[in-house]
Amino acid sequence: MKQKGKKYYRVPDEFWYRIHFVRPRFKSNIENVLLYMASECCKIPKCSCEEYNKRYLRAIRMFPGNADMADKTLQNWRTEIPALFSFYIEDKSKNITETSRMAKFLYENQDLTQFLRLFLLSFQFPGGHLKPQDLEDIIYNNIRFKPARTIIEVLMTGNEILSEQNSQKEMSVSAEEATFTIFNDIRVTSGRKNSKSIAQTILDNRKNHLKYYNPADIQSKSLKGTSRKKGDVTRYACDILDYMELANLLEKHNGYYYLKGNELSALKVFVNDKTWFDGYERFYGKKDLKASMLSQVEPLWFEYVNDSMRPDLFRTDVRSLFNKDESIDIIFDDRIKSVISSDDSTTKDIGNLGEAIICSHEKMRLKINGYEDFVKLVQVVDGPSYHPGFDIDSYEADGTEDHRYIEVKTTISKRQIKMFGFHMSPNEWRVANTIKEHYCVYRLMLSEDSKTLFVLRNPVHLYKTDKIEAEPRDGMEITFDGNTFEQTKILAWKR
């Protein structure tokens, strides 16, 4: 198909089917969210579906930055996490919900790389992550498709083709190429077109300068007949490619994904993988297929996924990650009491709680000062693979639209104290010295009956002017007298 002189690659209509699946709204912050939610799920005991759901929703609301989350978004999170990542198993017939082995695996290992590899290894079409009506289409089109394995096979075969051509280039694939030559082509997703043919198609299309996304093509139209944006067309292939990058299987350069060169053993696990969930096999070729039949398979799917949590398959080093209104106050207070009374509370639990409280505080501070447009921009930026030297990116409320970079230091205490202290890493101290007056340390002290907050703006300057004491020790050990600083009232989010 041509448009204004452009030549497009097009899947014949009889072979075109748009693969889609649940997409988490938190994808841009997936590392922090998954690690946090796995931890929170593991704190919920086996209980009734209603009670588990209540605690689960509270945990979502408590995630740093979610204090102002709309109920609809809250419910989206609630359904997306278990549908895609199987963090809990719900038995409605027995009215029992319990945390899954998937969540326990991630919480106990704190290794998102390995978790995502195991997730991608079992992720397939058809699968219980799909709605019954979508499963009907998958089965009708004879689709049996493991995206991660197929992508790896295409890239490996492409490298063989390039090598035979004496090319020094490595095979790569873009989200657009993957969408049109892999994900949306029934010949591929049903197994009728092999990896060598797919790789050759991609290379030939490049040689012939063929484009892919054509907004005028019926295949790019929504059900309402309007043209989907390119990002909407390629989003599902892009999701899988991004998960594979986070799983340290691929690396991305200028919009193209390449095999991770030093992860050959992990890549071979995918290529040699013969596992397959066959719970839907009996429905292929069935003429009177009904959605209710497919719904009965869902529990078996989640059991299969949880049985896939095999630590022996991938041994990764976690260091590879580095190459309602008033109810908000009640939620925080209940969580503080829970953390203080629990013998299992970790430094991470305390840190998450502190960040959630300060995110809520910052959103309300901006709102009452007339900066409601900035409320949604407040976010936690520190994560497992990205450490900018501060925890929260917020904004000043002084008309400048300048950022306020916040490092949250939280401790739990059962008694009142006058001298406060905290540690700043070398990177935090360096960033504070660079950002100066836009860098703030929020020193938060929590007890069962009080929350105390001191805001220390430009800590390096405070040290140089003798307002605080600092002793070099793998960064800086900071101490200050609470009587020399004015306490800041902690604000709770209200709509």
In the predicted model, is pLDDT for residue 319 greater than 60? no
Do 225 and 369 share a domain, yes or no? no
How confident is residue 317, by pLDDT bands cut at 50, 70 and 90?
very low
Model confidence pLDDT, tens digit, residues 125-183: 999 999 999 999 999 999 999 999 999 999 999 999 999 999 889 999 999 999 999 99
Q: Read off the CATH number of the domain in which 415 is found.
A: 3.40.1350
Considering 229, 254, 274, which residue would you say is the last residue of a domain? 274
pLDDT at site 447: 86
Residue 357 lies in a domain: yes
CA-to-CA distance for 53 and 120, rounded, in angstroms?
A: 26
Q: Which residue has the higher pLDDT, 268 or 346?
A: 268
- pLDDT, position 318: 35
The answer on 261 and 161 residing in a single domain is yes
Q: Would you place residue 65 in the very low, low, confident or very high pLDDT band (cuts 50, 70, 90)?
A: confident
Encode pLDDT of 441-475 as tens digits: 999 999 888 899 999 999 999 999 999 999 999 89
In a domain, 192, yes or no: yes
- Determine, yes or no, domain membership for 317: no
Both 446 and 353 in one domain: the answer is yes
Residue 109's SS3 state is helix
Residue at 451 is within a domain: yes
Q: How far is CA 1 from CA 231, 232, 465, in A?
A: 21, 21, 70
CB neighbourhood size of 161 (10 A): 15
Do 255 and 361 lie in one domain? The reply is no
One-letter amino acid at 397 equals A
Instruction: Say yes or no: 263 and 336 in one domain.
Output: no
Q: Is residue 403 part of a domain?
A: yes
In this predicted structure, the answer to whether residue 228 has a pLDDT above a threshold of 90 is: yes
* 43 assigned to some structural domain: no
Whether residue 389 contacts residue 431, with contact meaning beta carbons closer than 8 Å, is answered with yes
Range of the domain at 251: 1-16+125-274
Residues 256 and 332 both lie in one domain: no
Mean pLDDT of 338-346: 79
Per the domain annotation, does 101 fall within a domain? no
Q: How far, CA to CA in Å, does 248 sit from each of 31, 133, 142, 244?
A: 13, 33, 31, 6
Tell which wins on pLDDT, 317 or 176.
Answer: 176
| Same-domain check for residues 341 and 450 | yes
pLDDT at 124 over 80: yes
pLDDT tens for each residue of 379-400: 888 766 567 899 999 999 888 8
Cα–Cα distances in angstroms (integers) from residue 134 to residues 75, 125, 131, 221, 293, in the given order: 21, 10, 5, 18, 13
Residues 332 and 258 in one domain: no
Please indicate, yes or no, whether residues 215 and 337 belong to a single structural domain of this protein: no
Which of 229, 249, 274 marks a domain boundary? 274
Q: Give 422 or 344, the one with higher predicted confidence.
A: 422
Which domain CATH number covers 192?
1.10.10.2090
Name the domain boundary from 274, 307, 341.
Answer: 274
Report the pLDDT value the prediction gives residue 328, as an integer from 0 to 100.
64
One domain for residues 264 and 331: no
Same domain assignment for residues 337 and 450:
yes
265 and 332 belong to one structural domain:
no
150 occurs within a structural domain:
yes
Question: Residue 238: pLDDT above 80?
Answer: yes
Tell me how many domains the chain contains: 2
Could you give the residue ranges of the DSSP H alpha helices within 278-425? 291-295, 298-307, 327-341, 347-368
Report the percentage of the chain scoring pLDDT > 90.
66
